[in-house]
């Protein structure tokens, strides 16, 4: 992570789980939390991806533990939490980054099987893994969901974050980062076309797409004690792209 300014150590002695964290935004978040002192537990569906990411993070001097976890698999979700607690004894930060984007069809043209997968991974699994984690989360702990600016346009945002914030208060804060368009593998169907990429850049006030490091910095802020009086909020990190209707 190349940064011109000095990065602090806000997560010294803390344990952070980041789901879907072997590449893209999830990896940058894990890297940022680790650079700031956290012991980071990373996960994704494939063992090789986990092993490669662990090696990269450890190469940067970050205390890292990797576990294979498909968030739709109940046993793997439980294993992620159990192994973390066995190794570190607690959970201070939980970053829910796992999501799928299996179709670009409009809602009214989306097949039922695709709707099921979207619900299963993007919504239901995020809640279920948090159910497993919640009993082990420390006082003053933090949860951050990684969502999308598209939660605001064109579809209204789901109120899940606010509901969870109320349920987990006052010991745990729950917030959400809504990234704009970041050229990762997840979004490459939008950014590999030069004309579309230019249009996306033009839609921002800062005239550029976001980076995974931009998302990691915002996530680290919400997860840190610097945001100790913020809960139930969604932070749009989109370079000034219009979001709220």
Catalytic amino acids? 161
| Distance of alpha carbon 148 from alpha carbon 61, whole angstroms | 31
d(CA 27, CA 147): 15
Q: What angle do CA 88, 89, 93 make, to 5 degrees?
A: 75
Give the pair of three-digit tokens for residue 138: 């420390």
Q: Which of 76, 86, 14 is nearest to 44 (CA)?
A: 76
CA dist., res. 23 & res. 181, Å (int): 16
Q: Which phi and psi angles does 14 have, rounded to 5°? A: -105, 155
The partner residues of 142 in beta bridges, in order of sequence, read: 93, 173
On the CB side of 26, how many CA atoms lie within 13 Å of its CA?
A: 25
Provide the 3-class DSSP secondary structure of residue 203: coil
Element at 16 (helix H, strand E): strand 15-18
């Amino acid at each position: 992570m190349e940064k011109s300014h000095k990065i602090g150590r806000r997560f010294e002695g803390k344990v952070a789980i980041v789901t879907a964290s072997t590449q893209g935004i999830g990896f940058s978040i894990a890297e940022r939390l680790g650079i700031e002192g956290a012991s980071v537990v990373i996960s994704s569906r494939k063992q090789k991806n986990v092993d490669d990411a662990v090696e990269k993070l450890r190469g940067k001097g970050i205390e890292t533990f990797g576990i294979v976890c498909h968030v739709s698999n109940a046993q793997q979700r439980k294993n992620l939490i159990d192994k973390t607690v066995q190794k570190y004894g607690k959970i201070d930060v939980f970053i829910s980054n796992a999501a799928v984007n299996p179709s670009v069809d409009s809602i009214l043209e989306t097949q039922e099987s695709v709707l099921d997968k979207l619900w299963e991974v993007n919504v239901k699994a995020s809640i279920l893994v948090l159910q497993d984690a919640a009993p082990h989360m420390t006082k003053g702990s933090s949860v951050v969901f990684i969502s999308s600016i598209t939660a605001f346009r064109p579809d209204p945002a789901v109120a899940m974050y606010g509901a969870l914030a109320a349920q987990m208060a006052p010991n745990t804060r729950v917030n959400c980062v809504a990234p704009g368009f970041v050229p990762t593998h997840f979004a490459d169907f939008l950014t590999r076309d030069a004309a579309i990429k230019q249009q996306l850049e033009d839609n921002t006030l800062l005239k550029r797409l976001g980076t995974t490091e931009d998302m990691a910095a915002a996530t680290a802020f919400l997860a840190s004690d610097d945001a100790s009086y913020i809960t139930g909020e969604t932070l749009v990190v989109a370079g000034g792209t219009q979001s709220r209707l």
